Chains A and B, each alone.
Chain A
């Protein structure tokens, strides 16, 4: 115990929060595992575990761009989509070549998915990061749509000679007999052999948290945040703005790609349309609701908001309406000055500090 207190004593607030994040994920994992063992887990919740992991990772990834780097991205699902389709192709090709074990397929899929998403991040980052504010946002939106549009025309197959690509149709892939089509344009990837598992998802979240928190608490991270807080001042202090923004953006893209691979390998089919503007917005909702720059908030918001619409199924026809109302109310409750003041007064009543905000 003594050791632990010492350890905490030395660290700053940031890394304490970091430990809390790890704690939350591990506790979440433990609870689910115990529930599963006791048979108390509903099918509905069990089926959502992997998407929850993927969305948590997406939220963390986007929070790195929006919260830490201070840029609004409206096309983050595009990176997820790159990772997802790459992952499916890689996993499918491995399966074709006789690798049947799930774990190696998943790991390679996630790694390759992350790499390709990172490359997409570099290609997109070069033009995008020259822009500011809402213009940057719209360009990320545009890239998200372009990625979706291009994937809609992409056909990929695998045979003994290796991978075949075409942008017209299946026949143009010139596959030898016995080959398998992996991606079929608008019909997406069909017949994916599932490889994701909840444990893998949790491990991936922990890994992503580790990467992000180390980045944020490093010299690089401080430079990124300095640029966010005041670009001109940071520039004047000799910080290479483009380089640091790029680091944040590409890291985020790679993480989103990993999330995409995890997500895609949990379903037997995915389509390019899944990763559209609405999915980007969904992830943005997690980030904003959880608190911009607040990783713990992102984790909780992603998990809660993924489960919420499922819990609302009892409202039947009014389900999405209720969800919309809850979304608006929560945004107002967490952001409105009046309600914040009210909350302060409320908590002030119970706080031991004299005076407090009760006095007006």
Chain B
């Protein structure tokens, strides 16, 4: 706990000093007498938000992780359409670039967007590329809001990178906490993907937290690309060691195989997933009865009945003919959050004309708004989302259980 506190304080201090540096640099170049804490402004006559904002998305649109990149892209497109339809004075010019889930390609995509004149980046979708790109964007002072790159390293030491999803450490410890508080299990097995940053990240914090809470982890097994189709060994190990709950910190594609193989083995523990598990019910042709009673912590449920979700899901289904997964929802929330932040700033500073602002000005503005405790956004992945100054989002994960092929809130 002490360590965490220390790191938060340090990150805060660092963010402050970096912001101060950035501001001083600006002041020098503009030659104005603005102090370090003053933010760039571009008031408009009627106090509204106007101009055209160039938003770029980076994510895997091809390759093995294309599923996640395309989902985010599709979700973001719907949000951009809605924002553009809302007010003709403020428009978003949106462009998505492919990174094939590779750090090198991702930096290339980022540079392409820079040539295009990008002002704000939504992305990147996956963790490793995001760490590489956020370092570049940090030195270029371009604001990033990642929909789904969840590792702590994504935001560490980078004041301009914010996450819309839970961070891995939060998810790992929240899961352990949830299992322990609700008395779901005494003996836990974990199967995680050993060559994946997301999966390993959640596993590590889960394990630490589980040890703290006295949950007994009896079996820890892994898989990786290339041996991700047969889980007999992992499941047998869990079964033999008497695990009554299997924790699956992974995406839904391998999880669907684990569920069907466990069923074939006649092994029926409680399966507990994380946000990557969302989407399992949407796999075309998947027998949803296999996922009966699976519990997952996710910020988004496609069959929720609140207006925001219904509106989003309806539009998404009409446009793409499929149910949105959590990645699509994250993608939808990102442009919305940026839009909301700019509107918030415009309202408090006599309007904002984004055409008059450089990417680094916008970066400064967005950092100030998102880290402002008075600012919050309602999105499909959470109500009243707020951010801490280290870039982590503050929202409550919802515990969901799958009953008769649909999510039911716990």
Contact = CB atoms under 8 A, between A and B. Distances in A.
A and B touch in the complex (CB under 8 A): yes
Interface of A: 42-44, 46-48, 51, 149, 152-153, 169-170, 185-188, 190-191, 267-274, 309-310, 313, 317, 319-320
Contacts of A319: 62, 98
B114 to A, nearest CB: 4
B131 A269 contact: yes
B364 interface: no
A225 B245 CA distance: 61
B195 A152 contact: yes
Given A47-B107, A270-B103, A310-B112, A186 B132 contact: no
22 contacts: A44-B108, A47-B107, A48-B108, A153-B194, A169-B204, A185-B200, A187-B128, A187-B201, A191-B153, A191-B156, A267-B103, A267-B104, A267-B107, A267-B135, A268-B135, A270-B103, A272-B195, A273-B225, A274-B103, A310-B112, A317-B61, A319-B98
Contacts of B86: none
Contacts of A186: 194-197, 200
Interface string B91-104: 00000011010111
B105 to A, nearest CB: 8
Contacts of B41: none
Given A42-B115, A43-B111, A319-B62, A274 B156 contact: no
Contacts of B26: none
Contacts of A169: 204
A233 to B, nearest CB: 41
Given A44-B111, A267-B107, 15 more contacts: A47-B107, A48-B111, A51-B104, A186-B195, A187-B197, A187-B200, A187-B201, A190-B153, A268-B131, A268-B132, A268-B135, A269-B135, A271-B128, A273-B225, A320-B62
A188 B104 CA distance: 14
Nearest to A187: B197
A194 B296 CA distance: 39
Nearest to B131: A269
B390 to A, nearest CB: 15
Contacts of A272: 195
Given A186-B194, A186-B197, A269 B108 contact: no
Nearest to A149: B224
Interface in B188-208: 194-197, 200-201, 204
A65 to B, nearest CB: 23
A247 B267 CA distance: 55
Contact of B224 (A47, A152, A188, A267): A152
B72 interface: no
A271 B197 contact: yes
Interface in B72-110: 97-98, 100, 102-105, 107-110
B197 A274 contact: no
A223 to B, nearest CB: 37
Interface centre among B105, B195, B225 (most CB of A within 10 A): B195
A313 B111 contact: no
A51 B194 CA distance: 27
Nearest to B62: A320
Contact of B103 (A46, A191, A269): A269
B153 A269 contact: yes
Interface string B195-235: 11100110010000000000000000000110000000000
Contacts of B107: 47, 267
A269 B104 CA distance: 10
B157 interface: yes
B121 interface: no
The 6 closest A-B pairs by CB, nearest first: A268-B135, A47-B111, A43-B111, A269-B131, A43-B114, A187-B197
B402 interface: no
B151 interface: yes
A191 B63 CA distance: 26
Contacts of B194: 152-153, 185-186
A271 B103 contact: yes
Nearest to A320: B62
A135 B274 CA distance: 43
Nearest to A321: B62
Contacts of A47: 107-108, 110-111
A268 B129 CA distance: 10
A341 B77 CA distance: 51
B259 to A, nearest CB: 24
B115 A44 contact: yes
Contacts of B104: 51, 267, 274
Given A267-B104, A269-B128, A187 B151 contact: yes
A95 to B, nearest CB: 14
Interface string B120-142: 00000001100110011000000
Nearest to B109: A313
Interface string B28-61: 0000000000000000000000000000000001
Contacts of A46: 111
B359 to A, nearest CB: 12
Contacts of A270: 103
Contacts of A309: 105
Nearest to B106: A267
Contact of A187 (B61, B132, B153, B225): B153
Contacts of B127: 187
Given A43-B111, A267-B104, A274-B104, A188 B61 contact: no
Contacts of B61: 317
A303 B114 CA distance: 22
A309 B108 CA distance: 10
B195 A273 contact: yes
A190 B135 CA distance: 10
Interface in B149-196: 151, 153, 156-157, 194-196
B307 to A, nearest CB: 32
Given A267-B132, A271-B128, A319-B62, A43 B153 contact: no
A42 B112 CA distance: 8
Nearest to B104: A51
Nearest to A269: B131
Contacts of B111: 42-44, 46-48
Interface string B382-401: 00000000000000000000
Interface centre among A42, A267, A272, A317 (most CB of B within 10 A): A267
